[in-house]
Structure 1
């Protein structure tokens, strides 16, 4: 689906490259989580993937196409929901009428169901909706396009707690096997039970690219009364004890992605080496 090879990028010739020789492969039928600190380049990488920015070296390929060429045959199969967006002062019906035609696989029945699930007022002008309601409508529209590549930048920002639960439910239940979803987020807890593959960016390179199954077969995430022990790779104090990461010895465990991110970003070289 997506192939990134030797990708390099800088905004100006005088700047040090944000990315240098970046490589990544992502396949359809999965949800990938793109994680990183502020300024790591997550949004820039998303825009390079979909052709809104152009590599200074290397290449990006989506379904055999170069997104930088902006070919309609590819753009009809890509939907990008940015963190910051503009939405016109028209009704939902007019917005759908104006935009749905760009996406051949658009599913009107799915849109109606998602609007109902999110309890959105269909007759109200989009401009008069709250920020969270606007976000829920755009998420509903994005999923209804049925594009083979959905790129969501901070999709849960602005959603209240019940809406985040609905988001997880509708995303998990609305995808086909030929679709790939990339979610860039700081709100790891909001999406950790959806993600199949974890990508972590730091200093212009991937410090992790792993399927969740592989992580759970290598590492054990548990709560302990003490952070001591030779086999403890990383620990954080929590109420009542510690959250710890140790080598896996019992098969598989549920992955705590937030703890894993902290461990790789702030942990020891032993921890970083263990997951690479």
Structure 2
């Protein structure tokens, strides 16, 4: 559904952001794009949706070049940016001016999300708080019913109850014809939501695996002493949180934050476990 081949991109000639980056994203999945601030997450997402263009390489979304921004593609792509700039108009005015660009927009579903997130109904969009604006755009974006939904740091500005609502809502809208890409540096916000993990570090993809494959190859646990099979460890009070190899396919709950830290600090120890079928 989203195909990135040999992506090269830079804002200045002396400092490339991506060099020959390749990535394939398929329908029916929620991808978590994880990375530190400055890793290139927002730049990659903007390339995906055609807001900025590759220096070299190709990006196709549902079979069309994203850089061309054809109306036939744009009606099937919803992008929710991190930086929000909403006009000083009412919710109804926004719907009347923007919803017609999305032929599958579901106003009844939008209203249900509006109520779910407890967004003030009569407030001017421009006067909303950052968190309220974020919830409004998430509600609108999901109600577009586009095949591609791309979100850049969607949980920034949300309080803890709203983050829980966000995870519940997003899980309910997923289907086999849709792909959702969520970028964040707040790794724990995507727990129990995503089914595939993409980790960016130093402008490169250092890990791109399904949750199932990660669970099969790695074991996450808490121990009081380190053993030889430990690939990565973080010390806590009286114990260690560790990732170890998993030759016996034992079940364990994936700790996304621990995985992220391991992949960006001890990358070779982690990635070598995904090189064989």
For Structure 1 versus Structure 2, the TM-score category normalised by the shorter chain is over 0.9
Alignment match, 2:235: 237
Q: CA deviation at 1:175?
A: 2.7
Q: What is the TM-score normalised by the length of structure 1?
A: 0.95
Match of 2:4 in 1: 4
Deviation by residue 1:15-62 (Cα, 9 ceiling, x = unmatched): 232111111111111110111122111111101111111111111111
Aligned-pair Cα RMSD in Å: 1.3
C-alpha distance 103-235 of structure 1, shift in aligned 2 (>3 A): same
Count of matched residue positions in the alignment of Structure 1 and Structure 2: 274
1:174 CA displacement:
2.1
Q: Report the CA distance shift for 1:268/1:123 in structure 2 as closer, same or farther (over 3 A).
A: closer
Where in structure 2 are the equivalents of 1:7-46 lying within 5 Å?
A: 7-12=7-12, 14-46=13-45
Contact 1:146 1:175 in 2 (8 A): no
CA–CA separation in structure 2 for the residues paired with 1:240 and 1:179: 44
Instruction: Tell me the CA shift for residue 133 of structure 1.
Output: 1.0
Secondary structure, counterpart of 1:134 in structure 2: helix
* Inter-partner Cα distance in structure 1 for 2:171 and 2:271: 30
Within 2, Cα distance between the matches of 1:270 and 1:255?
A: 17
Please state whether the residue corresponding to 1:10 is helix, strand or coil. strand
2:253 aligned residue: 254
TM-score (norm 2): 0.95
* Residues in 1 aligned to 2:148 and 2:26: alpha-carbon distance in whole angstroms: 10
Which aligned pairs between 1:1-276 and structure 2 lie closer than 5 A?
1-12=1-12, 14-226=13-225, 228-248=226-246, 249-267=248-266, 269-276=268-275
